[in-house]
Structure 1
Amino acid sequence: MEQLHNELKALIIEALNLEDIQVEDIETDAALFGDGLGLDSIDALELGLAIKKKYHIVIDADDSQTREHFASVANLANYISSQRN
């Protein structure tokens, strides 16, 4: 799971052009939005597209669970793992 966490952190940095941030700077359980990494709704769309491209998993923006999936790297990794099985 740690490998997936690091893959997702790298994907976030690459997809969102976060040039000043390293994989080590993103805490696995920290919030991605608001007070955590500070991402916004546009970032969520970009990240959703990057996940779709890399993992072939579509994250439905209208799903009530989506906000929970995007809450942290850990949540995102759990969701992707559950969809792959």
Structure 2
Amino acid sequence: MQALIQELKEKIIAVLSLEDINLEDINDNDPLFGDGLGLDSIDALELIVMLDKDYGIKLTDPKEGKVIFQSIETMAAYIAANRLK
């Protein structure tokens, strides 16, 4: 699971062009939106595309996304349980 968490951090930094953020700056349990990383709705769309492209996971329910994108750790757990790639 730790390898997947590391991979997710790298992908999020790359996909969202967060050049001012290092891997060490992202805590596994910090919120991705709001006070944590401060991501917005456009970033959420990018993350949804990344899940589909890289892991074969299609999100259709916005409520599901709120749960999955709470933190890096919740994303990694969801990917580990549902990935198709």
Task: Give the TM-score, by structure 1 length.
Answer: 0.91
Deviation track 1:3-56 (CA, whole Å, cap 9, x = no partner) reads: 000111111101100001111111000000000000001000011111211111
- Give 3-state SS (helix, strand or coil) of 2:63's partner: coil
Equivalent residues in 2 for 1:3-82 (5 A)?
3-60=3-60, 62-82=61-81
Q: For structure 2, which runs of at least 5 residues remain unmatched after alignment?
A: none
- Give 3-state SS (helix, strand or coil) of 2:6's partner: helix
Q: How many residues align?
A: 84
Tell me which amino acid in the other structure corresponds to 1:83: N
Q: For structure 1, which runs of at least 5 residues remain unmatched after alignment?
A: none
> C-alpha displacement at 1:57, in angstroms?
1.1
Task: Give the TM-score, by structure 2 length.
Answer: 0.91
> Following superposition, which runs of at least 4 residues in structure 1 exceed 2 angstroms of deviation?
62-65
Tell me which amino acid in the other structure corresponds to 1:64: K
* Percent of residue pairs bearing the same amino acid type: 49
CA–CA distance in structure 2, aligned partners of residues 50 and 71 of structure 1: 16
Q: CA RMSD in A?
A: 1.3
